[in-house]
Amino acid sequence: MNLSCFSQSYAQARQAFLASCAQRGLAVESHIHPLTGRDGEQLAIDVALHGNADAPNLLVLSSGCHGVEGFCGSGVQVDRLNDDAWFAATQRDDLAVLYIHALNPYGFSHLRRVTHENVDLNRNFVDFSQPLPDNAEYRAIAPVLLPKKWPVGSGNLLQLLGLTLRYGRKGLQAGISRGQHSDPKGLFFAGSEPTWSNLRLREILRKYGQSCQRLAWVDVHTGLGPRGYGERIYKGKQNADDIARCRRWWGNAVTNAAEGNSASADLNGTIDLGVMAECAQAQYTGVTLEYGTLPGKQVLSALRGEQWLYNHPEAPAAQHQLIKQQMRDAFYVDADDWKQQVLEQAKEVMEQGLAGLYS
């Protein structure tokens, strides 16, 4: 497999995606972000449709929901676009394949997991007209999680260990990561209104997602689970028929956070909720394709450090650079064996999604 589909910056990744689309003669619709990137570059969600807009089958491949995780997902998209066999297999009158590049372009460029609003886009699809869910565990954990000083000393690490004993490893992970609405400067903040990316995704779906009868979605993420393993995490309603169909398509290895067998906790406000709401006419079948990178402790430490940096912009340049490097390393393994594993599994998952649509 050709590993040149992976990039070293958002700007490079965007150029690679646009070039691959141009090579295939696909028009790209760009939703320009109001802010600029790390190197002053333009930021955008770029969307390319291969096929008929009114086809009954729609297969979506999306990247960069969690900003910095886009290094992986963008590489996967470019690899699929460049693959002649894949392109030929998806060239059908009754099919459209939608490539959504960099759902959260700001986070991708600035090496953040969250959006420019400090919001976790994959927790932001809640009904803001209703009372927002409370996360009492998060509020209890936050003072330890978000220390005044970085790096932390041994006292903070002991406190974190104490919290792990109190809540259990899974319980602590759920409290930290399932989403919280109480602290706009905290981790896994789910927002107080729909973010820019949330609104743009809904626009995209109102344009491309209204004719399909069957909708398959693969959303690429990183940062959880064993290094290089692509966990297929069920996304959709907790309904036995939908879960069974997802496992027929993608195999019994499909996990479901609600069943407690996933590396991920059960989350609030994930994007599939927005997709199902906007494309209510379609039968939705989707997975998060979640690739492991570094051990969980290191990933959490990278997230905590980066959140500290966000709240302490006065940090010295050298520390800023170190924290951002650790952040990138936590969500993108810049090694050939990892990239190879990523592409092989993504190829299989996309082929299974395609076959599933016609099963």
Which residues contact Zn ion by CB under 5 A? 66, 69, 221
- Distance in Å, CB of 221 to Zn ion, minimum: 3
Q: Which is nearer to Zn ion, 57 or 264 (CB)?
A: 264
- Which token pair is 40? 């002053």
Residue closer to Zn ion by CB (options 282, 300) is 300
Smallest distance from Zn ion to CB 222, Å: 7
CA angle 11, 42, 210 (to 5 degrees): 95
The least distance separating Zn ion from the CB of residue 331, rounded to whole angstroms, comes to: 8
Find the residue with minimal CB distance to Zn ion: 221
d(CA 319, CA 151): 10
Q: What is the rounded CA–CA span in Å between residue 160 and residue 189?
A: 20
Smallest separation (angstroms) from Zn ion to the CB of 19: 26
Q: Least Å distance between CB 319 and Zn ion?
A: 25
**Closest CB 7 distance from Zn ion, rounded Å:** 18
Q: How far is the CB of 172 from Zn ion (least distance, A)?
A: 18
Q: Which is nearer to Zn ion, 178 or 221 (CB)?
A: 221
**Quick one: 51 or 228, whose CB is closer to Zn ion?**
228
66 or 181: CB nearest Zn ion: 66
Cα–Cα dist 325/70, whole Å: 15
The 10 Å Cβ neighbour count of residue 266 is: 15
Between 66 and 101, name the residue whose CB sits nearer to Zn ion.
66
Tokens read off for 147: 């220390």
Phi and psi angles of residue 48, each rounded to the nearest 5 degrees, phi first: -130, 130
Q: How far is CA 167 from the centre of its chain?
A: 26
Closest approach, Cβ 54 to Zn ion, in A, equals 31
Backbone φ and ψ of 96, nearest 5°: -130, 140
Instruction: Give the residue with the Cβ less far from Zn ion, 20 or 293.
Output: 293
Closer Cβ to Zn ion, 114 or 160, answer by number = 114
